[in-house]
Structure 1
Amino acid sequence: MRKILLIALLLLCNLTFAQDKGTVTGTVTDKELNNEPLPFANVFIKGTSIGTTTDLDGKYTIAAPIGNQVLVFSFVGYKTIEKPISVVVGKAITINQVLGASGGEQLEEVQINATVNREKESALLLEQKKAAVIKESIGAQELAKKGVSDAAAAVSKISGVSKQEGSSNVYVRGLGDRYLNTTLNGLSLPSNNISKKNIDLSLFPSDIIQNVSISKAYNSIFYSDFAAGNIDITSKEYKGKGFVEVEIGGSANSRAIDRDDFQKTDGSGAFGFYGRYGHNPFAVVLSHGFTTRGTYAPINSSLTINAGKSFDFKDESRLSFFATASFSNKYEYREGPVVDFSNTFNRRYPNSREYEYATQSTAMLSALYKINGNHKLKFTSLFLNSSSDQVGEYGVLGLGTNRDARNESVFDGGSSFQKNIQFNQDLIFVNQITGKHKFSGNGFSDELKLDWGVGYNNVIAHEPDRKRINLENYAFALDNDPTTNPVFLTNNSFDNQRYFQKINDEELNSRINLTYKTSEKVSLNFGYNGRLKLRNFENQRYGYNFNDASRNILVDVNNLDAIFNIDNTQFFRNISTGKLYTIESFRTLPGYEDSNFVTLPGLPENTYEGELQIHAGYISAVINANDKWTILPGIRLENVNQSINYDVINLGVNGIGGQNASETFVLPSLSVKYALNDDQNLRFNFSKTVSIPEFKEVAPFVYEGVSQRVGGNPDLLSDPSFSNVFNLDLKYEWFVTRSELVSLAVFGKQIDDPVNLVVANDATGTQRYFRTGDKATVVGIELETKKNIIVNSDEETQLSAGFNFTYMNTDQDLQAQQGLFSTGFDRTSDKLQGASDILINANVTYSPTQFDNYKPVASLVFSYFSDRIDALGSGQLGNIVEKSVPVLDLIWKNKIGKNWEANLTVKNLLDPSIQRVREGTSFGDVILSDYQRGITAGISLKYKF
């Protein structure tokens, strides 16, 4: 009886208490971001402890005392708003509020970086949840937790994405460089490498990144050249009173640190600039030998300076600046076999060493001008300088290696040695102006928005001096027989050579999008994209033509300057002067071909010019049919005109020529989102896109590396010139909490007339690009989850984990190809080049919160991809396969007080072998390269003024 009375009394108290309350609900939006929902804003009743925070949709609900109250809205960095309300018993009132960095009515708060919220993982999950299309992002906050140092590492943490270890190659759903696009603030970025379509994402340090997003499903705002996805980097912005931040760091690589003989080229500076620009290449050949310098402190270092400042004016006007400048370097040592194995070559270097000193310099200025609440302009200027200084020594023992012996048994012949010394530098300039406008009054609807951008990019890519020598009988260099000393390989003048190459890319691109909201349920988008890209390429090569008397000269590979100097250079052909060699160029000046005088510097060996023009218009709609259904149909009309003109030496009478292709595409797309409830979405996407060849794929110039030769194929611009791609996606998302997610996606693609890298049927074993069949298909499944494992009483996450898994099945038909170049296959189908069956990314993050002035964050980050085809084999030759690689990193960040941060990173803890294998040869599987990159451990110290 007593229990029944007690329960009745509690119910009565609760009823009485509820009758003294009213309900206040509403939505808080962000004035700084065009009134998007603002999550995590504080809403409370003034003078009480009654309050809450807004959810991912900016919504809140409060049980408030009856009577006249003051409702307070606040958010860090924004002005606090106090609003009088009248609460009625048992009734709900709706109070919506816009918060911004200015225009508040009451409290004056110290303003700090207001963009921090848009860098948070939770805010990006909200964006993903609300987006009408399939899109995934990683923000600056998550980048910091996972110790991500650049954009390349950032995208590899997203499901279905992997990065090729030891290179800049990024794969999305098994499709590599040629199927991707990269943009900065929605505008096209150039490539920094002649052999790549996309820029090396590792050139973008995390200090300039607000977030990185990947759109795997197509919609009409993107260029038609879309098969795997579009990677967009949003540059960092700042809104606040000002800060300066300095970070210094140092690290060491386990395989480089103990090399007291670490070698660098002569002529390259410590900061990644080459000191001989403006000189005639031939003058460089005469005045600079083959010197390599030993350095005795292979310690990596870095320095970063960030600064920001805002200036507020009247009428909500604000001018904000953010600037960053950084420099970093790294030393890497690789040791292992390097093999050139094709239909005609079998050159093996089992005892090879490579020394690499790489630098990266970055400078960015971002200026954001908020004219008023309706108009914003943003200027971004970015400069990147990357360099690679490599010295390679490649030795051979007891295997046939010279050109006279290459068709003999691989266990016959002598031994050889190759030394390759080269410096590469890429200078990249990106300048953009973008604007966002909302029009109202004077006949305009409040829902008319204009978003536009114009960009100019310039890339200057140099290989300003590559030195390569080849020796025979090197295996006997240490014996006592003077007749077996190492001597220069002299099959032709260019077995020992100097090489110079330069590329200049210019690009002008633009975008404009007009959004008109016709009703609460329908918005229309009208847009235009334009792009003009020009490339100029030339290279020059000089060979050392040794006189008969000097062919067997004693060679000391550690003192090559004793031979290659101006005193040993002969300037007259067919005249005995006692000198060791003449210097030859592939192309002499017209009229001097038969002259006895060596007419140098001569003409460029190879040149080509490429032009790409794109003009596109599109229309799409966002239809919110009801609370459940969002439909985004779109159609894009795009004209593509691409041309290549070339003058190359390796094609004889066909060496001068060109090719042009022009086509107009009609590309439909459809995205559908069905909200199962407030936290779960079901998404569908279908689209048609195309794949456009790159300049390097169509220019027949051949780049000769140490162990492979890669060239283009102009036939790619013959009919069919472009590949049609059909894309299908179905995805389920469950946003468990504001920072937890479970998603499952299935996807499929059909690529007509796919392009692959294949060994051509020629005497050099050159790999070229071919349309290898009629069709390729990709079918896959993606699973992603983010989970908070330990959360304290204040709902702060202390232990969290993330995991994503992708499985793919790919297939393409193969057919023999004939044209300017030809290739054939001993099979009718194979997997798609670049596709791994399995991709895995995982991380565990521990961030205890019990300390007052100390905030540590420790993360273990793991990634894995299974074997994938790097290049298709032809004839009886098997594929080149990049073997699977697991990577494990440890990051420990420590924020101490308000100003200090001390960090520890240990990268590549597993130190796996990086291996490329030629499968299915008569000798079994042949390892083409096999090395380990070493474990890199480093510390850094940051101070914020």
Structure 2
Amino acid sequence: MKFNLRFLIIALFICTISVAQNKGTISGVLTDKETNNEALPFANILIKGTNISANTDIDGKYSLSVNPGNYTVIFSFVGYESVEKPVTVKANETVTVNQVLSAGGYTLKDVVVKSSTVNRQKESALLLEQKNAVDIKQTIGAQELSRKGVGDVAAAVVKTAGVSKQEGNNNIFVRGLGDRYNSTSMNGLPIPSNDPERKNIALDIFSTDIVEYISIDKVYSSRIYGDFAGGNVDIISKDYRGDGMLEISLGSKANTNALGQANNFMLQQGPNKSGFVSYGVPNDPLSGFNFENSLNPVKEAPFAGEFGIKAGKTFRIGEEGKIALFGTASFNSGYEFREGLTRSVSAQAAEQKSYLQQKYSYNTNTTGMFNANYRINSNHKIGYNLLYVNSSDQVRDTYLGSDRDYDNADADLYIQRGTFTQNSVFINQLLGNHKLTDKIDFNWGASYNTVEGNMPDRIQNMLFHYRDNDYYSLAQATITDNQRYFQNLKEDEIAANMAFTYKLGDSKNGDSKGKIVAGYNGKFKKRDFEAIQFNFRITEAGLQERLDPNNLDAFFNQQNYANGTFSISSFAGMTPQTYSGNQDIHAGFANLEYKLTDKLSSVFGIRYENITQTVEWRTQFDAGGGINTFERNEFLPSLVLKYELNEKQNLRLAASKTYTLPQFKERALFVYEDVMESKIGNPYLYPSQNYNLDIKWEMFPKSEELFSVTAFGKYILDPINEVIIASASNDISWVNIGDTGYAYGIELEARKNIFDLDENLTNKLSFGFNASLMKTHQDIDRQKVIDETDLNINLTDSSSGFTGASDMILNTDLSYAKNWKNDAGIIATLSYNHYSDKLYAIGSQEKGNLVDKAMGSLDFVFKTKLNKKLGIDLGARNILNPEFKRVQENAGGDVLVLNYKKGVTFGLGMNYQF
């Protein structure tokens, strides 16, 4: 009996193998006639009269295994005309059937056309692209942005693993590496910064209305500029598909902190609610009091609004040509208020400055985008993108407390500072994609970008508040205590990309072995910056006058100037302090993407860059002017390996060498003075060298699910850091702080559908999670700084972590989505973000490090579609309203030096599509 059973099992096994060996294969590629014959993912392939079916992958490829015989294959896709094709299959042979689908007899008014480009907004499509790509990439699309209620690109990127945002500014940290180590591009072309303090443009000025998807490259590729160590954020702008659309949205939002100050919310006069101003340095300000704006604050009602409109249209030109137009314009504003302690203390925790700070702010963002994409025919496509963003920030700060340099036992020191900043970015891009032959593609792009950043008429006044008699008088320890300041930045940048791609093997028959890509990148940047400050020297008699701090116009006016009560002066008369920067980068690159085996793929890359950077200045520290130039030649190799463990799992490895450039302002001998600190440039600063390594395991259980683990390491030679230098006023500067630094860590990511109850309509609950655990370290070498510069540092420790880096970053979200047959539906998302303690500044003069304490934020978004045209959105941000704390790590324990709460922001919006 045992023999018979064994015989039966062996016989069945042999028959199974025999049947499997006798099967044939039907495979091929589906393309989309409506999108320049691009690959069509997620299309359906069915053997007529059977249950045998498949879906195309992100590259439009499919494969079916069937017994020998004659079949009819049905190709279909939502909104496209189905195609049936007869096929004869022979044993052990592969039949290649490629097919082009089109809208055919359908009209676009009757269906929603879902092209490959539109699907790249979907989470499932982007995950499939991530799975199949050889390069290591991470993307977040329009669908995920909408689900999580994300309103701008900065909020989007911090939802991804290993990315955090520094509290109080727009600085993004990727794997513990801050602004200087990252880069930003749009449609693959670089875009300049809108802030003289930063290398990268503020990502929160980009509304997600303009975004198709965002790609975060944390692994270097030879097609990216070599000034890279943390990551590159590439914003892909919307590319419209469809017959026509028009959508209008309205909204409002309110912050609990600001509403709590509704009876006392005051801002400086001058800036208007639109965020656009035209005033600047007045005529002849040294010979009379000719300033345009009042010093008296004006009361505001802290209620904010939003408005947006977007439209798209597609036109056919001839038999093959098509042009797609898309435009969007929006305006939004917001009021905020925060209150808390801000102070500096000695190594023994003695107070040097200690204030209660109140900060009132109003910000705006105006965005306009237009793009036109023209498909000439199936082989050629060109596109034009225009983006204009104007952002403004109006802030009124008041400080009440003490300063050891202002000794007055009877009074507290009271400081008022009003700052208005207007930054505008104008981006123009022209892009082309050309299929020259079946094997050769040519892609190119060119951009001309301009940036203007203005700080017109920043005002500062210092007063004593006499506690017993409750009156104010002006304070003056230095001539700069009472001042008006004007600065302007203009930057032009031209960039060009071109790349030839040669496909190896026969991609039509699914026999592609890879491709060779070679090309050129060029980037040419010019910056001009100027600033002038007018200082008010007050006479002894003027310092005795009693004043109302909300009516300083009663003192600073033409009459008192004419009477000699105060005088006005500036550095070098009406000649402003200036610095200019020029940076040219020429780069050639080549990479080979090659399938080494059925499971092992590789990308070998090499890049050469020639970099020239010149900074020239004339400032109060160097009235005669100075200039500094460096030139570098960089050879940057990179390698990526991908091993397919099985159909759902990949193992990846990446290694590369890159560099990090100092920025213009960091090298210009110019000082920027704030209430609590001053910063001065270091002309001797030079680039760092970076060595990068990543190992990643990933699994894709289903189309919308992912589990991954990534280990990474960064080794940096001559790292650049912001430090306090030994000077009379303890200024901050930038130095190559030591010989080496490193960062290493692990990233975890998971996306899982908890349940999905309806096959035809959405009814699912999904969960997302990512976390990053890391360690950073850098050597501090005082002698190195002394030898290489004319600066001196006296830092407390001989090593530290990287400023801005958290040992742990966590993001998680829970989403429920439900759709009904009448196009109605809801999406509700609860998301939480947490970061652990992070180093803000390195301690000096025996003082401990400044550390931002761990903090988390909870957001809730509810979106509802009442019908096909009308939708209503609700949102609550920062629900937990945690307290932000910064401490100084002294020997006797942590000393609080900054704290505040931001308040909860509630929003209500409505959108209607015609």
1:698 equivalent in structure 2: 667
Offset, 1:705 = 1.5
1:819-830 matches, within 5 Å, as 819-830=789-800
2:769 maps to 1:803: yes
Q: Relative to structure 2, which stretch is displaced further, 660-669 or 487-496? A: 487-496
Amino acid at match of 1:893: K
| CA distance in structure 1 between the aligned counterparts of 2:443 and 2:503, rounded to whole angstroms | 14
On the 8 A contact 2:25/2:93 being kept in 1, the answer is yes
Alignment pair present for 1:173 and 2:175: yes
- What amino acid sits opposite 1:939 in the alignment? L
Post-superposition Cα deviations, 1:814-862, rounded to whole Å, max 9, x if no partner, equal 1102222211233221112221100111111111245644210100111
- Counterpart-to-counterpart distance in 2, 1:311 and 1:342: 69
Query: What's the counterpart of residue 532 of structure 1?
Result: 524
| Matched residue, 1:393 | 398
State the SS of the aligned residue for 1:934: coil
2:423 to 422, 426, 433: 426
Amino acid aligned to 1:665:
E
Question: Relative to structure 1, is the Cα distance of residues 799 and 735 closer, same or farther in structure 2, using a 3 angstrom cutoff?
Answer: same
Higher deviation after alignment, 728-737 or 323-332: 728-737
Secondary structure at 2:180 match in 1: helix
- 1:755-774 matches, cutoff 5 A: 755-774=720-739
* Deviation, structure 1 residue 308: 0.4
Tell me: CA distance 1:461–1:477, structure 2 relative to 1, closer, same or farther (3 Å): farther
Q: Unaligned stretches of 5+ in structure 2?
A: 1-11, 506-511
**1:612-631 map, 5 Å:** 612-631=583-602
Provide closer, same or farther for how the CA distance between residues 780 and 373 of structure 1 changes in structure 2, counting only shifts above 3 A.
Answer: same
Q: How far apart, CA to CA, are the structure 2 residues paired with 1:858 and 1:402?
A: 54
Q: Distance in 2 between matches of 1:696 and 1:661?
A: 15
Q: Indicate the residue corresponding to 1:463 in structure 2.
A: 455
RMSD after superposition = 3.0
- In structure 2, the residue corresponding to 1:126 is in which secondary structure? helix
Between 698-707 and 219-228, report the one with greater CA deviation.
698-707
Alpha-carbon shift at residue 912 of structure 1 (Å): 1.3
Match of 1:560 among 538, 545, 552: 552
Q: Who is 2:6 aligned against?
A: none
- 1:72 and 1:882 map into 2 onto residues whose CA distance is 60
Look up the match of 2:165: 163
Q: Which residue does 2:614 correspond to in 1?
A: 643
Give the secondary-structure state (helix, strand or coil) at the position aligned to 2:120.
helix
* Residues 306/100 of structure 1: CA separation in 2 closer, same or farther (3 Å cut): farther
Alignment counterpart, residue 192 of structure 2, candidates 187, 190, 193 = 190
Is the 8 Å Cα contact of residues 57 and 128 (structure 2) preserved in structure 1? no
1:794 aligns with 2:759: yes
Aligned-residue offset at 1:35? 6.1
Corresponding letter in the other structure for 2:706: L
Which structure 2 residues correspond to residues 774-789 of structure 1 after superposition, within 5 A? 774-789=739-754
One-letter identity of the residue aligned with 1:467: I
Find 1:909's aligned residue among 879, 884, 890.
Answer: 879
Q: Tell me the distance in 2 between the aligned counterparts of 1:65 and 1:133.
A: 36
Change (3 A) 1:516 1:465: same
The TM-score with structure 2 as length reference comes to: 0.91
Where 2:223 maps in the other structure, the secondary structure is coil
Q: CA deviation at 1:343?
A: 8.3
Question: Among residues 112, 121, 124, which one is paired with 1:122 in the alignment?
Answer: 124
Does the CA contact (< 8 Å) of 1:813 and 1:829 recur in 2? Answer: yes
Cα distance, 1:66 vs. partner? 10
TM-score, structure 1 length as denominator?
0.89
Name the amino acid aligned to 1:855.
G
Structure-2 separation of matches of 1:830 and 1:173: 16
CA-CA distance at 1:141 after TM superposition: 0.5
Deviations 1:288-328 (A, max 9, x none): 320211013x1121011010001012231111111000000
Tell which deviates more after alignment, 657-666 or 157-166.
157-166
- Which runs of 5 or more structure 1 residues have no equivalent in the other structure? 1-10, 406-411, 441-445, 479-484, 571-576, 589-601
Distance in 2, matches of 1:66 and 1:779, equals: 54
CA distance in 1, matches of 2:393, 2:360: 10
1:85 corresponds in structure 2 to 86
Q: What displacement does 1:793 show?
A: 4.3
Structure 1 pair 516/67, CA: closer, same or farther in 2 (3 Å)? closer
Letter in 2 for 1:677: N
Deviation of 1:151 after TM superposition, in Å, equals 0.6
The residue aligned with 2:3 is none
1:306 aligned onto 2:278: no
Distance 1:215 1:30, change over 3 A: farther
Given that 2:36 and 2:375 are in contact with CA atoms closer than 8 Å, whether structure 1 keeps it comes out as no
- Report the counterpart of residue 266 of structure 2 in structure 1: 263
How much has 1:549 moved relative to structure 2? 1.9
User: 1:301 and 1:314, CA in 2 relative to 1: closer, same or farther beyond 3 A?
Assistant: same
Q: Distance in 1 between matches of 2:602 and 2:649?
A: 16
Q: CA deviation at 1:44?
A: 3.9
Residues 94, 302 of structure 1: CA spacing in aligned structure 2 closer, same or farther, 3 A cutoff?
farther
Match of 1:7 in 2: none
Matched with 1:549 is 541
Residue equivalent to 1:664: 633
Cα distance in 2 for partners of 1:199, 1:28 equals 39
Conserved in 1, the CA contact under 8 Å of 2:657 and 2:692? Answer: yes
**Counterpart check, 1:210 vs 2:212:** yes
User: Residue 782 of structure 1 contacts residue 807 of structure 1 at CA under 8 Å; is this kept in 2?
Assistant: yes
In 2, the alpha carbon distance for the partners of 1:35 and 1:869 equals 51
- Seen in structure 2, the aligned counterparts of structure 1 residues 342 and 311 have a Cα distance that, compared at 3 Å, is farther
Give yes or no for contact 2:472–2:549 (8 Å, CA) kept in 1: no
Q: Find 2:579's aligned residue among 608, 611, 617.
A: 608
Identity across matched positions, percent: 39
Contact map agreement 1:289 1:565 (CA 8 A) in 2: no
Q: Equivalents in 1 of 2:779, 2:35: separation in Å?
A: 48
Aligned to 2:780: 814
- Aligned AA (1:786): R
Is it true that 1:586 corresponds to 2:571 in the alignment?
yes
Change (3 A) 1:378 1:838: same
What residue in structure 2 maps to residue 146 of structure 1?
148
Q: Supply the AA of the counterpart residue of 1:507.
A: E
Shift of 1:939: 1.0
Q: 2:280 touches 2:457 (CA, 8 Å); kept in 1?
A: no
Structure 1 residues 284 and 894 mapped into 2: Cα distance closer, same or farther (>3 Å)? Answer: farther
Letter in 1 for 2:478: N
Tell me the distance in 2 between the aligned counterparts of 1:284 and 1:154: 47
1:106/1:287 CA distance change after superposition, 3 Å: closer
Whether the 8 Å CA contact 2:282–2:290 is kept in 1: the answer is no
2:7 alignment counterpart: none
Please tell me the residue identity of whatever aligns with 2:460. R
Residue identity matched to 1:585 = S
Q: Which moved more, 1:333-342 or 1:265-274?
A: 333-342
Q: 1:208-262, CA deviations, whole angstroms, 9 ceiling, x for partnerless residues?
A: 0000111111121111101111110000110211100111011111111132221
Note if 1:491 corresponds to 2:477: yes
| Structure 2 residue 324 is matched with structure 1 residue 354 | no
Question: Across the two proteins, how many residue pairs are aligned to each other?
Answer: 884
The one of 831, 855, 866 aligned to 1:896: 866
Q: CA deviation at 1:330?
A: 0.1
Structure 2 residue corresponding to 1:512, chosen from 498, 502, 506: 498
Q: Find the counterpart in structure 2 of residue 452 from structure 1.
A: 444
What CA distance in whole angstroms lies between the structure 2 residues aligned with 1:491 and 1:460?
34
Question: 2: CA distance between counterparts of 1:814 and 1:821?
Answer: 14
Q: CA deviation at 1:689?
A: 0.5
Q: Cα–Cα, structure 1 residues 101 and 459, in superposed 2: closer, same or farther, change >3 Å?
A: farther
Output the amino acid matched with 1:511. N
Structure 2: which amino acid aligns with 1:800?
Answer: S
**In the TM superposition, what is the alpha-carbon distance from 1:711 to its structure 2 partner?**
2.3
Do the aligned partners of residues 820 and 186 (structure 1) sit closer, same or farther apart at CA in structure 2, a change above 3 Å counting?
Answer: same
Quote the residue 1:728 is aligned against.
Answer: 693
In 2 relative to 1, CA 413–752 (structure 1 residues): closer, same or farther, beyond 3 Å?
A: farther
- Partner of residue 412, structure 2: 415
